[in-house]
């Protein structure tokens, strides 16, 4: 019996699934690995990869497939044309000068957060946080986004992420994360210490335009540069900066 051809929208979904696999990979992937991670038949994955390679969104090396250079052009177009980064940059510069720490602007991309702007403080980070890297919503500054999502969407993301272990070694359950997100929303900010990286502390706040969540602003430093005694002042600065960015957005 003849099979029903996949709808055009289903084909687009599958192509984005493959792109997502390549974005998340930290090394070239074999065809079978791409197919498995995208939950696709090998032949389907091969057809999609052929198109992506032709268009420059994937590249093929001897060791496998990886994201292609066209993705950089797409990211550049977003950085140039989005309305959030230009209005946020002066605020980030002022925040870096005031605190000496490194502020970063994040936006949500599906189940992840992506840094789209950053200003190095006087005490730069000792690890890399590249613009465009995909980071989890359930750790650090991601909670300043996750806490303001609709409850059903938030619950699905919590279920997918938990249980997990922090860099400090602490185990986090779904109930733990749910309780913390309620507190984050009530307080208006998220505080994280040794969650994604050991001995690194961040203070983050949502950027809200009315009921619309535009992004999150985070300031981060080593536990030495951002000691507990400085939390109240930094929380005030970050929340004020997030409100300033929201006010400047059209």
Residue span of the structural domain in which 33 resides: 8-72
| 59 lies in the same domain as 103 | no
| 53 lies in the same domain as 103 | no
- The first and second tokens of residue 112, run together, are 């992840």
| Distances 197 to 40, 102, 140, 203, 212 between C-alpha atoms, Å | 34, 15, 9, 14, 30
| 45 lies in the same domain as 160 | no
Is the pLDDT at 249 greater than 80? The verdict is yes
Terminal-residue alpha carbon distance, the chain? 55
Q: Residue 148's pLDDT is what?
A: 97
List the CATH number of the domain containing 156: 3.30.450.40
| 119 lies in the same domain as 197 | yes
Give the alpha-carbon dihedral of 135, 112, 32, 4, to 10 degrees: -170
In this predicted model, what pLDDT tens digit does every residue of 60-99 receive, in sequence order? 999 999 999 998 888 888 877 888 999 999 999 999 999 9
Asked if the structure places residue 16 within a domain, the reply is: yes
Asked if the structure places residue 49 within a domain, the reply is: yes
- Total domain count, the chain: 2
Mean pLDDT of 191-217: 94
In this predicted model, what pLDDT tens digit does every residue of 93-117 receive, in sequence order? 999 999 999 999 999 998 899 999 9
Asked if the structure places residue 185 within a domain, the reply is: yes
Rounded CA separation 145/231 (Å): 20
- Pair 57, 19: CB distance under 8 Å: yes
Rounded CA separation 226/100 (Å): 10
List the CATH number of the domain containing 46: 1.10.10.10
């Amino acid at each position: 019996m003849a099979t029903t051809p996949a709808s055009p929208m289903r084909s687009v979904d599958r192509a984005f699934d493959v792109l997502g696999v390549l974005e998340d990979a930290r090394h070239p992937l074999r065809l079978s690995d791409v197919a498995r991670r995208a939950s696709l038949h090998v032949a389907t994955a091969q057809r999609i990869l052929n198109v992506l390679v032709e268009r420059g969104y994937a590249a093929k090396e001897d060791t496998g497939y990886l994201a292609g250079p066209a993705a950089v052009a797409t990211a550049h177009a977003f950085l140039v044309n989005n309305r959030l980064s230009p209005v946020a940059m002066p605020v980030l510069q002022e925040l870096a000068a005031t605190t000496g720490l490194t502020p970063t602007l994040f936006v949500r991309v599906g189940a992840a957060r992506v840094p789209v702007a950053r200003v190095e403080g006087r005490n730069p980070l000792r690890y890399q946080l590249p613009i465009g890297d995909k980071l989890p919503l359930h750790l650090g500054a991601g909670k300043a986004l996750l806490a303001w999502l609709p409850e059903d969407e938030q619950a699905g993301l919590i279920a997918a992420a938990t249980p997990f272990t922090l860099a400090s070694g602490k185990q986090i359950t779904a109930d733990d994360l749910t309780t913390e997100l309620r507190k984050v929303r009530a307080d208006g900010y998220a505080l994280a210490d040794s969650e994604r990286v050991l001995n690194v502390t961040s203070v983050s706040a949502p950027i809200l335009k009315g009921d619309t969540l535009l992004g999150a602003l985070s300031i981060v430093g080593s536990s030495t540069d951002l000691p507990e005694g400085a939390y109240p002042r930094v929380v005030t600065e970050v929340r004020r900066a997030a409100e300033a960015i929201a006010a400047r957005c059209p």
